[in-house]
Amino acid sequence: MLTTTDLPGIRLLTLNDPQRRNPLSPALTKDLLAALDAAEQDPAIRAVVLTGAGPAFSAGADLEFLKQVTTAGAEANYAHSRELMRLFHRVYTFSKPTIAAINGPAVAGGAGLATACDLVVMSEQAQIGYTEVKIGFVAALVGVILVRAVGEKHARELLLTGKLVSALEAYRMGLVNRVVPAEQVLEEALALAQEVAANAPTSLALTKELLNALPGMGLEDGFRLASIANAWVRETGDLAEGIAAFFEKRPPRF
């Protein structure tokens, strides 16, 4: 179950199945994809915050679903895998900033969902881990973005041990941006979302596109793409407004 709450410029998406620790079920995956589509199409929404209801962010796979995976058949399992891939890819490449507020344990697929976000605020009491290897699974999808997030050596340690790490260890590895007391997690994430959302929407979207593309490009191709982006953004209304506001000494109206 997913709960949607709108704040000025921000859409808060809450994984809301606290009794089961907010599992990333097929139904929730579909709900999240639909919610992201709606948020992207709404010009009033400048950023999205993801969090969990109750004591957990997300404990990963739905246990009832997990019981069926070894007998579901190749086609059904591939369809589910592709849907989960769509979710991680959608969050990672979303045109508007995404912030995860990890209020409690983020495990397996739940850890992957948080990792896919642009920024992560984590409770100092929470843990995060990619525990798939402990039950014979592979954290294949999240591995694609985890290597980008923390580098190869940290990714190898996290994926091969399957261990849960503390918030401070996650911060040291570069998995999260901020660690705060549990009661401040959502407040801090929303404040960070407001700070980011105050910037020019066109600039944010283009910056995200560059950040997605550059790690896989060589030096010359990277600079070439960056020069095109640098030139293109000069033709946008956001830049015109930003420059006008700068010289008029007023806040920009993006």
Residues 210 and 143 placed together within one structural domain of the fold? no
Give 102's contacts (C-beta < 8 A, 6+ positions apart): 51, 52, 57, 114, 120, 121, 122, 123, 126, 128, 167, 176, 185
Distance CA 24, CA 6 (A): 22
Q: What is the pTM of this model?
A: 0.94
Tell me, what's the pLDDT at 52?
98
Is 42 part of a structural domain of the chain?
Answer: yes
Tell me, what's the pLDDT at 63?
73
Residues 166 and 229 placed together within one structural domain of the fold? no
How many structural domains comprise the chain?
2
Residues 95 and 218 placed together within one structural domain of the fold? no
Tell me, what's the pLDDT at 75?
85
Asked about 152 being catalytic, the answer comes back as: no
Tell me, what's the pLDDT at 9?
96
Q: Which structural domain, as residue segments, surrounds residue 228? A: 201-248
Residues 217 and 171 placed together within one structural domain of the fold? no
Tell me, what's the pLDDT at 35?
98
Is 76 part of a structural domain of the chain?
Answer: yes
Tell me, what's the pLDDT at 21?
95
Distance of CA 206 to the CA centre of its chain: 17
Tell me, what's the pLDDT at 122?
98
Residues 109 and 223 placed together within one structural domain of the fold? no
At 200-250, the pLDDT tens digits run 999 999 999 999 999 989 999 999 999 999 999 999 999 999 999 999 999
Q: Which of 75, 132, 220, 241 is catalytic?
A: 132
Q: Which residues of the chain have pLDDT under 70?
A: none
Distance CA 141, CA 196 (A): 27
Give the residues across from 3 on adjacent strands. 14
Tell me, what's the pLDDT at 61?
77
